Amino acid sequence: MAVIKAAILGFGTVGQGIYHILNEKREELREKLGVELEVAKIVVRDTSRERVPGTQHLLTDNIDDVFAEKGMQVVFEAIVNEEPAFSYLQRAIEHKCHVITANKVMFAKRGIELQELAKKNGVFVGYEATVAGGVPIIKTMKNILLVNDVSRIQGILNGTTNYMLTKMRQEGWSYDQALAEAQRLGYAEADPFNDVSGQDAFKKLMILSDLAFGEQPAWSEVEVIGIDTLTLDDIKAANEKGLRYRHVAEVEKNAEGQIIGKVAPMLVNAEHPLFPIDDVFNAVSMETNYIGTLTVTGPGAGMYPTASVMVEDYAEIIGKRAGFVVSI
């Protein structure tokens, strides 16, 4: 049986999740896809920390080791910032590897460039995990766009802040207590300022804008307001009136063809599609011309939901290569 070698770049919450799922599902994936997948390298900054027992021999801090490995065909990337992630993926694509990323900071800025490079090199870029964790929003939107135009997107795109707002409302937790718990559960970014300030949701919104409209608004013109502007009293007072604060990211193409984006806390009532979305859940509502408004929801952060959609991207790419699945 053919063996496909893969590398995992970054071995934090998401990288480890990929490793666990690939191990747990090894046989099933082999049967479904007709190929054996072997994780041959894991790239980390500090190789002295094993993190997952039995992986020490796979660790390297040198990206060259990935490309020196014969049969390397897939690179999973779960690093935090734009660099060195972009340069590593650029090299991977030039090396004819398919790449699958969870890196929204990098992809919001360089996603189109990476996809064009991949096209030239005959490989695929999977980026489902960059937006809304385990919610299959990229796949869904790609399918919808085959027939529909999307005019507006409105969503909860950050699991940490939705979890915090939920716990503050339901349990009366303080902002700091809710944030600490979101960090403990592996939802928050390495620097949680990116979650609470709205920067994380903003990057995800820009990725959706690229997909829906083929362009992004000028970043400097997008108003981004975090949940750090809300107090526990604001949240309680809203709740007493039957209202809920949601941290909403929205982008639309107006009648003049301009793309307008915004990220901010919003008060919603029980009629609003984002009203029932609690805990770490994310949701994306899309306004389309034929379907009408469609809302997709699911867990927006965490090791397994995010890692799962990356392994799904892998299965889809390999399946597509073998000619039996099409959507990436």
Part in contact with ligand HSE (CB under 6 A); list of ranges 4-12, 113-121, 158-166, 215-223? 158-166
The three-point CA angle 109-112-116 to 5° equals 140
Residue nearest ligand HSE, CB atom distance: 160
Asked whether position 77 contacts ligand HSE by CB under 6 A, the answer is: no
268, β-bridge pairs: 244
> Which CB, 86 or 187, lies closer to ligand HSE?
187
Q: Residues 5, 108, 124, 195: which binds ligand HSE (CB under 6 A)?
A: 195
Q: Total residues at the site for ligand HSE (CB under 6 A)? A: 11
Nearest to 76 by CA among 5, 150, 133: 5
- CA 246, CA 236: separation in Å to the nearest integer? 13
- Composition of the chain by helix, strand, coil, percent to 5: 45, 20, 35
> Which CB, 15 or 159, lies closer to ligand HSE?
159
> Which CB, 200 or 319, lies closer to ligand HSE?
200
The three-point CA angle 296-299-303 to 5° equals 140
Provide φ and ψ at 7, rounded to 5°. Answer: -120, 150
Asked whether position 301 contacts ligand HSE by CB under 6 A, the answer is: yes
Residues 135-154 that bind ligand HSE (CB under 6 A): none
Asked whether position 158 contacts ligand HSE by CB under 6 A, the answer is: yes
Residue span 161-190 as binding mask against ligand HSE, x where in contact by CB under 6 A, dash where not: --------------------------xxx-
Q: 89 Cβ partners below 8 Å, 6+ apart?
A: 75, 77, 99, 101, 106, 114
Provide φ and ψ at 12, rounded to 5°. Answer: -90, -150
Positions touching ligand HSE (CB under 6 A) are 133, 158-160, 187-189, 195, 200, 300-301
- List residues with catalytic annotation: 204
